[in-house]
Amino acid sequence: MNKKSAFAAAAAMSFLATNVAYADPQAEVLHWWTSGGEARSVAVLQEEFASRGGTWTDMPVAGGGGDAAMTALRARVLSGNAPTAVQLKGPAIQEWYEEGVLADISSVAEAQGWADVLPASIANHMMCEGTWCAAPVNVHRIDWIWANAGILSANGIEMPTTWAEFNAAAEQLQAAGITPLAHGGQAWQDATVFEAVALGIGGPEFFQKAFVELDEEALTSDTMVAIFDQMRIMRGFVDENFSGRDWNLATAMVMNGEAAFQIMGDWAKGEFLAAGLVPGEDFLCMSTPGEGFLYNVDSFAMFDVDGQDNIDGQTLLAELIVGENFQHTFNLNKGSIPARTDIALDDFDSCAHTSAADMAASTESGSLLPSYAHGMALRGAQSGAITDVVTAHFNSDMSSADAVSQLVAAVANSQ
Ligand code: BGC
């Protein structure tokens, strides 16, 4: 029996009985969930895995957005020693599949009826040539503004609903000696802010053309110039020590009253919650100005590995990840919403309810869009090319016109 069919057989057997006890399921799990909120979240999976007899070998690779984790993964695969399960997402799943190193988890998916409980927009990312090749954990939204509620009320400021309002609020705060925008100068964080600004200024159709289709007209448009203009304004709102700062330290600045706002995906909410803060009271959430919803789905892919204990570990992990309990509890901690549509959100907070309602509305209106900055829209070389220009612009006095010229050239070179 080859490895893929051994995996399939193990998966099928696990559904003959519920909570089947495997001999000795093992999993070495590569992920980048190392902040307070993230660690609390992944612990849910570790505990469920252990309670079913599994032995979890943790391989955390620190670094927000996962760039360092992906470098570590490549090194492991190249040395012929892939981890059992890997936090992987978007087109990177299909890129690894094309290299012939992913296990087929269709048996688990079919036995558990994933197709019936996942929206098509999510399920599509988990498929490789008609087979299931990844298990989805959640839906993170990117286009959020987080704020310190006390700072805003003390300064008579409402959450901004346009970029002009955001700029006016930031100027007012700056004049009062408060850092308007908590930011960490790391390329992926620059890209996170950039795509929220791009969606807001350009709108959903523009975003789709520019960052999903890489349409040259959109990439060279006046709209793109206006987006870089706004990025230049945002650069003026960060403190002087922003370079290299981790995202969770930027979130802590908002928590501690050292800065008013942060533009970041809703893993930031996981940090606020881990610190015991309450949305609507201590901190505020609102989607960034403009239409649309930028989604980012965390998922795990299983790599081809030897040994029945590892294959059992993969089967068990896939089953647990899409299981109802994990989807509920993990996402309460992580700041995201469940990938499954059949999980009740009664225990979730107001930000999560906004996210779920906006996701449903944007699915209807065609404005549900994959995040380019978080690897959901483009292949790695392409998204990397865009981010290089975004970060070079943010960290220099490059004009918007020059940034646009460099963007087009970088995208062309990456194709
Ligand atoms: C992931 C999140 C993670 C964040 C910060 C994102 O790309 O989807 O799960 O919390 O990066 O590391």
Distance CA 335, CA 37 (A): 8
Ligand 1, atom 6, lies closest to the CA of 65
Contact 165, 234 (CB under 8 A): no
Q: Is the CB of 242 under 6 A from ligand 1?
A: no
pLDDT, averaged across the chain: 95
Ligand 1 mean position to 335 CA, how many Å?
Answer: 11
Ligand 1 mean position to 65 CA, how many Å?
Answer: 5
Contact 391, 309 (CB under 8 A): no
Distance CA 380, CA 192 (A): 15
Torsion of CA 96, 100, 101, 102, to 10 degrees: 70
Distance CA 266, CA 288 (A): 12
Ligand 1, atom 5, lies closest to the CA of 64
Could you give the domains of the chain? 24-140+296-349 (3.40.190.10), 141-295+352-414 (3.40.190.10)
Q: Is the CB of 313 under 6 A from ligand 1?
A: no
Question: In this predicted model, what pLDDT tens digit does every residue of 157-184 receive, in sequence order?
Answer: 999 999 999 999 999 999 999 999 999 9
Ligand 1 mean position to 374 CA, how many Å?
Answer: 8
Please, is 226 exposed, middle or buried when counting C-beta atoms within 10 Å of its C-beta (0-12, 13-18, 19+)? middle
Which residue shows structure tokens 């558990």?
112
Taking each helix axis as running N to C, give the angle between helix 187-207 and helix 163-175, from 0 to 180 degrees, rounded to the nearest 10: 150
pLDDT of residue 49: 98
Ligand 1, atom 8, lies closest to the CA of 298
Residues 6+ apart with CB under 8 A from 203: 290, 291, 292
CA angle 77, 54, 38 (to 5 degrees): 70
For residue 343, the number of C-alpha atoms closer than 13 Å in the C-beta half-sphere is 27
Whole-number percent of the chain with pLDDT over 90: 94
Q: In tens digits, what is the pLDDT along the chain, a chain of 415 residues?
A: 444 545 555 544 444 444 556 679 999 999 999 999 999 999 999 999 999 999 999 999 999 999 999 999 999 999 999 999 999 999 999 999 999 999 999 999 999 999 999 999 999 999 999 999 999 999 999 999 999 999 999 999 999 999 999 999 999 999 999 999 999 999 999 999 999 999 999 999 999 999 999 999 999 999 999 999 999 999 999 999 999 999 999 999 999 999 999 999 999 999 999 999 999 999 999 999 999 999 999 999 999 999 999 999 999 999 999 999 999 999 999 999 999 999 999 999 999 999 999 999 999 999 999 999 999 999 999 999 999 999 999 999 999 999 999 999 999 999 8
Q: Is the CB of 136 under 6 A from ligand 1?
A: no
**Global pTM value:** 0.95
Distance CA 395, CA 243 (A): 9
Contact 382, 415 (CB under 8 A): yes
Q: Is the CB of 374 under 6 A from ligand 1?
A: yes
Q: Is the CB of 64 under 6 A from ligand 1?
A: yes
